[in-house]
């Protein structure tokens, strides 16, 4: 009788522990996916911000960026943004630049896992 009670306790403890392990595993997997999504989104934002900073620096040194920027198709939906023949940004889906009396208006969108669009005025 004593052995059967101990066996029942071990069985109940094992079942409870398995529920805890399964729940923890699901939580960790969900947390990992959210962190991966946030990481990729922040990397894309950093790419856009570094492009903006680069263009600001070029403008402050007196370079006409409208003449040096070009875009070359990468696929049907995206292209490379090139500056003076070198790749500046990859995965660009939309790029418009307008110069109105020494003020540049730039609209840019990039596609990583989702679209991120920015508008800049220099």
Position of tokens 């729940």? 23
Per-residue pLDDT at 18 exceeds 90? yes
For 101, which DSSP code? T
Burial of residue 47 (CB within 10 Å: 0-12, 13-18, 19+) is middle
Q: Considering its fold, how many domains does the chain have in total?
A: 1
Per-residue pLDDT at 1 exceeds 80? no
Average pLDDT of the chain? 91
How many other C-beta atoms are found inside a 10 Å radius of the C-beta of residue 89? 19
The model's pTM is: 0.74
Per-residue pLDDT at 104 exceeds 80? yes
pLDDT tier for residue 72 given thresholds of 50, 70 and 90 = confident
Q: What pLDDT, on the 0 to 100 scale, is given for residue 23? A: 97
User: What's the pLDDT tens digit per position in 25-68?
Assistant: 999 999 999 999 999 999 999 999 999 999 999 999 988 888 88
Structural domain containing residue 19? 2-121
Give the span between the Cα atoms of 92 and 117, in whole angstroms: 10
């Amino acid at each position: 009788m004593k052995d059967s009670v101990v066996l029942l306790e071990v069985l109940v403890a094992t079942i409870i522990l398995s529920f805890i392990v399964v729940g923890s595993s699901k939580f960790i997997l969900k947390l990992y996916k959210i962190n991966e999504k946030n990481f990729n989104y922040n990397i894309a934002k950093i790419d856009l911000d570094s492009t903006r900073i680069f263009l600001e620096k070029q403008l402050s040194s007196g370079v006409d960026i409208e003449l040096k920027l070009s875009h070359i198709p990468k696929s049907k939906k995206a292209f490379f943004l090139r500056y003076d023949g070198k790749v500046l940004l990859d995965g660009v889906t939309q790029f418009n630049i307008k110069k109105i009396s020494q003020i540049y208006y730039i609209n840019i969108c990039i596609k990583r896992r989702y679209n991120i669009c920015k508008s800049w005025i220099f």
